[in-house]
Amino acid sequence: MIVHETELRVQYYETDQMGVVHHSNYIRYFEVGRTELIRRLGMSYRELEDSGTVMPITNVEVRYFYPARYDEMIRIKIVVKEMPKVRMVFHYEIYNETGKLLADGSTTLAFLNKETGRPQRTPEVMVRLLSGYFDV
Amino acid sequence: MIVHETELRVQYYETDQMGVVHHSNYIRYFEVGRTELIRRLGMSYRELEDSGTVMPITNVEVRYFYPARYDEMIRIKIVVKEMPKVRMVFHYEIYNETGKLLADGSTTLAFLNKETGRPQRTPEVMVRLLSGYFDV
Amino acid sequence: MIVHETELRVQYYETDQMGVVHHSNYIRYFEVGRTELIRRLGMSYRELEDSGTVMPITNVEVRYFYPARYDEMIRIKIVVKEMPKVRMVFHYEIYNETGKLLADGSTTLAFLNKETGRPQRTPEVMVRLLSGYFDV
Amino acid sequence: MIVHETELRVQYYETDQMGVVHHSNYIRYFEVGRTELIRRLGMSYRELEDSGTVMPITNVEVRYFYPARYDEMIRIKIVVKEMPKVRMVFHYEIYNETGKLLADGSTTLAFLNKETGRPQRTPEVMVRLLSGYFDV
């Protein structure tokens, strides 16, 4: 199992006239956290793309409990529970500074060959980086 | 049951370096369609907010099948299946110009009193506008 | 001289907690209008990119007079005053429904070869499309 | 004179299909840097808004020299050259990791009373925070 946390500050341009963060931005916060998790594994997502694999999203779910507000430092906790085969599932929880759970959710990502656009299995380099985290 | 369709053109700033629309923007497309659906009911969402009710999102789900591409006219089909009590559920399908289903999903919205931030039942004005669409 | 107008509706996700459209979105409105102007010339920007030319922005200026608000239909008026040689300059004015000037500005775009990334002169196809609008 | 620098990482959702950061996002990078500069003065922009003053943008200029790319750490350098009276001018330079100047620009912000929406002079609290940086 992989557990990772990233902090980021809510920006003004992410708020809407309800006075809180627009709900679409949580999907972007998920992406920020996911990028940092992948980097910590030992290979940035940029390097993965450069090596010929892209990871498009195939599924997103978000549940919103409390709104995030401008200038808050929020914490994005991500858990990967299973070794990916052809898809990789990330579970997210977003907390504010006081530790309140603002939202949770999940995303599923596929592995595609960048040139052909066809689905592939988890790239070998990724399998190696991930193998330490899971009982195989 | 309410069924409504809106068309919109994919903008350049909605694409990402994968060469397709970034997945977070589908949530925004849902919002564009939902706004037009509510307007067609006979009261814009702006008027609803001005009358003291806001409708924050409590749940989002999206499944992505094929990517939307720059400059395509996409079609957002929305179905509301049930008369809302304290929450209103919208079901979405996004199609491209050739009729291919690109994504589907749903959002759940609550009704909140704008001043107190507290949940409330569907406002009376909304109930009247909706009542013709549902067997009660 | 080319003069073109596009209308679009302000979206909720474009507002911020000041209760008005976030200033960065005017740059995106400019792009929406510019895309429609180019399409009216007889060739979409998508086709231009497909033919091997990209037009990155080299300069943006915006002056903000009054805020655009959620759900307003705004009008983007664009004027191109000169036949482009290596750069193309667009002048913008954004009006609300009542005809009030909300913002004006300009953008300068270069022509680049998509493969090499090197500057080039206005593509021949574009020169032909533009030539009717300017005394050469 | 105030000089301040902020670093941030370019996100995937900020790129477009040209393979680089969409030009509208530099305006948002300016905002991120400006927020951190104001915080360093001793009062966050959030506190300023809470105290009754908002600072809308009245003017933006950006010149784009080289594109920012996904996953780069960019550096936003901001200079404030003059003590603000009724407007505050920020000058920006954005550098990539190798020290290359990607873009520069400026924004002018007004001080408005949050309730009335009317222009006001620089709030007293801000004058005190700024006074050490300028020969008056």
Kindly indicate the confidence band of residue C135, based on its pLDDT and cuts at 50, 70 and 90: confident
Output the pLDDT for position D136. Answer: 61
Report, as residue numbers or ranges, the catalytic residues of B.
Answer: 16
Task: Give CA–CA dist D20/D14, Å, rounded.
Answer: 8
Q: Where are the beta strands (DSSP E) in B1-136?
A: 2-9, 53-54, 57-64, 73-80, 87-95, 101-110, 112-113
Q: How many CB atoms lie within 10 A of CB D109?
A: 18
Output the pLDDT for position B59. Answer: 98
Q: Given D18, D27, D61, which is nearest C23 (Cβ)?
A: D27
Output the pLDDT for position B135. Answer: 77
Q: Given A27, A54, A67, which is nearest B27 (Cβ)?
A: A27
- Nearest CA to D52 out of D126, D113, D129 is that of D113
- Predicted TM-score (pTM) of the model is 0.97
Q: Which residues of chain B have pLDDT under 50?
A: none
Chain C's closest residue to A22, CA to CA, is C13
Q: How many CB atoms lie within 10 A of CB A30?
A: 25
* B13 with D19: Cβ contact below 8 A: no
pLDDT exceeds cutoff 90 at A136? no
* B17 with D13: Cβ contact below 8 A: no
- For chain B, list the contacting chains (3+ Cβ pairs, <8 Å): A, C, D
Chain D's closest residue to A69, CA to CA, is D46
Chain B's closest residue to A61, CA to CA, is B61
Q: Given A19, A22, A70, which is nearest C13 (Cβ)?
A: A22
Q: What is the ipTM of this complex?
A: 0.95
- pLDDT above 90 as % of chain D: 98
Given a contact cutoff of 8 angstroms between Cβ atoms, the answer to whether A63 and B58 are in contact is: yes
- Nearest CA to D74 out of D14, D135, D2 is that of D14
Query: What residues in chain C have their Cβ under 8 A from chain D's Cβ atoms?
Result: 18, 20, 23-25, 27-28, 31, 54, 56-64, 67
Output the pLDDT for position A135. Answer: 77
Tens digits of per-residue pLDDT, C6-35? 999 999 999 999 999 999 999 999 999 999
